Structure 1
Amino acid sequence: MASESAGPAELGFVEAAPSWRLRSEQFPSKVGGRPAWLSAAGLPGPPELACPLCGRPMAFLLQVYAPLPGRADAFHRCLFLFCCRTPPCCCGLRVFRNQLPRQNDFYSYEPPSEDPPSETGESVYLHLKSGAHLCRVCGCSGPKRCSRCHKAHYCSKEHQSLDWRLGHKQACAQTDNLDNIVPDHNFLFPEFEIVIETEDEIMPEVVERDDESEIIGTMGEAHEEELESMAKHESKEDRIFRKFKTKISLEPEQILRYGRGIAPLWISGENTPKEKDIPDCPCGAKRLFEFQVMPQLLNYLKADRLGRSVDWGVLAIFTCAESCKLGIGYTEEFVWKQDITDAA
């Protein structure tokens, strides 16, 4: 996905994909499962991946591969979004950015092969080239380890306890095969690839015509004066929500809109950020809009089982305008959550 966007947005759609296509060496954009970390060093630790509201480990929601053309230090660049599944938090959020030059310690200089590898098993990769270990439950940094087998690693006592109850108690002695016997902990979101298409532009006059058609449709045989009166008294909130619906009408299944530096597409006139609400990057640069997650994604997350634990109208991600390079690690960026309940 090209990361400089002066024109229309790029749209993301979910699609089933074989597991090998979603591994780190393929530089995927994807939803759910475990993170396909970019740099194998400097991963955010358990404190950084704890919910800012309740402190519990967050779940990986999605990642977007978004290199910067013309930036040698960001030849590979990826954004990782995490959310809390605890109901009272209603989607506590954190997002991290990581970037690498083409010549790096983890990946080939040449593009990855489009052909499946000879070994395409379903083993879970819980060790990185840097030597870092990953949590068996969530796939994030796992500094804790099982005191019996010393092979299983975890991000937290909570995830260690969960894994113990769901099978590690029996598998603990089988230390040579732990990666092949990771149980379903019912913690990860369903996994999909995100495929990208460029949005077809809807002409402004089409938006206006759709607006008028909707007003007329609601009024039936109303007189012209009544229609004019309704248009005059239509609230800003109504107009914003109608624009949102019209904009996505050509591609209603879109789960993501990407466009570095373009304007977000808000679902509501309420709870939209002002410039002062978007904190500057620690490097001193302003942050600009890069992409947004659409409410349609909830349809793919088994949201009926999630209740109020995960819900949103728009998740807007703002990143450093300079895409600064702060060491080899992962830099936290900013998420603005606009609730769907704010919409008309």
Structure 2
Amino acid sequence: MSEENGSANALVSKDKTGDTMKSLLDNFEGDDDRKSWASFQERIAKAPQQVLRYCRNGSTKPLWPMSSGRPSKPDIPTCTYCQGPLCFEFQILPQLLFYFNVKNDVDSLDWATVAVYTCEASCEGTLAYKQEYAWVQLSSQSVTVS
């Protein structure tokens, strides 16, 4: 990797990441989505090779690439074990698509972001695997189809 692509240690060049992210912008409508996208890009530019953001302490919220297609509080269900609230734990960023070698085709795998919510109380410690909740924000959610 050359220094001109941003960092000698970067896994994904800023040029490649920028091209992937820019393709999502073509699907956005309205000023709110564009403002959200600009804010998302600004934060991601600090570490463009990241594919996962983790936060379990509740102080961080997902970075939403678009203002449309975000969940509201009623959209996030309660824990299936204790009926307590779920909280944001981690986020899968669209840069992961680069590592999957996803092409920019109509039928390709695509998402703007995936936010995963888990039980705030971390209940049922005896279970090896627990059901969690994932909110998938698709890049095409704001596109109107005629």
TM-score by length of 1: 0.30
Whether the 8 Å CA contact 1:269–1:343 is kept in 2: the answer is: no
In structure 2, what is the equivalent of residue 248 of structure 1? Answer: 44
Report the CA distance between 1:342 and its aligned residue.
Answer: 4.0
Deviations 1:264-317 (CA, angstroms, capped at 9, x unpaired): 100001110000000000212100001100110001112139963521110000
Whether the 8 Å CA contact 2:37–2:65 is kept in 1: the answer is: yes
Structure 1 residues 14 and 337, CA, compared in 2 at 3 Å: closer, same or farther? farther
Q: Which has the higher strand share?
A: 1
Whether the 8 Å CA contact 2:89–2:116 is kept in 1: the answer is: yes
In structure 2, what is the equivalent of residue 278 of structure 1? Answer: 76
How do residues 1-344 of structure 1 correspond to structure 2 at under 5 angstroms? 235-260=31-56, 261=58, 262-282=60-80, 283-304=82-103, 308-325=107-124, 327-342=126-141
Instruction: Mark the structure with the bigger radius of gyration.
Output: 1
Q: Which amino acid aligns with 2:42?
A: T
Q: Any unmatched runs of 5+ in structure 1?
A: 1-12, 16-233
Structure-2 separation of matches of 1:14 and 1:276 = 38
> SS in structure 1 opposite 2:116?
strand
After TM superposition, where is structure 1 displaced by more than 4 Å over at least 4 residues in a row? Answer: none
Structure-1 separation of matches of 2:104 and 2:31 = 35
Whether the 8 Å CA contact 1:268–1:342 is kept in 2: the answer is: no
Q: Which amino acid aligns with 1:322?
A: A
> SS in structure 2 opposite 1:331?
coil
Which stretch of structure 1 is more off in the superposition, 235-244 or 276-285?
235-244
Structure 1 residues 343 and 258, CA, compared in 2 at 3 Å: closer, same or farther? farther
Structure-2 separation of matches of 1:245 and 1:308 = 25
In structure 1, what is the equivalent of residue 17 of structure 2? Answer: none
Q: Which amino acid aligns with 1:246?
A: E
Structure-1 separation of matches of 2:130 and 2:108 = 26
Q: Which amino acid aligns with 1:237?
A: D
Percent identical among aligned pairs is 34
Q: Which amino acid aligns with 2:122?
A: S
Structure 1 residues 246 and 305, CA, compared in 2 at 3 Å: closer, same or farther? closer
Structure 1 residues 328 and 255, CA, compared in 2 at 3 Å: closer, same or farther? same
TM-score by length of 2: 0.68
What is the total number of aligned residue pairs between the two structures?
A: 114
Q: Which amino acid aligns with 2:54?
A: Y
Cα RMSD between the aligned structures?
Answer: 2.7
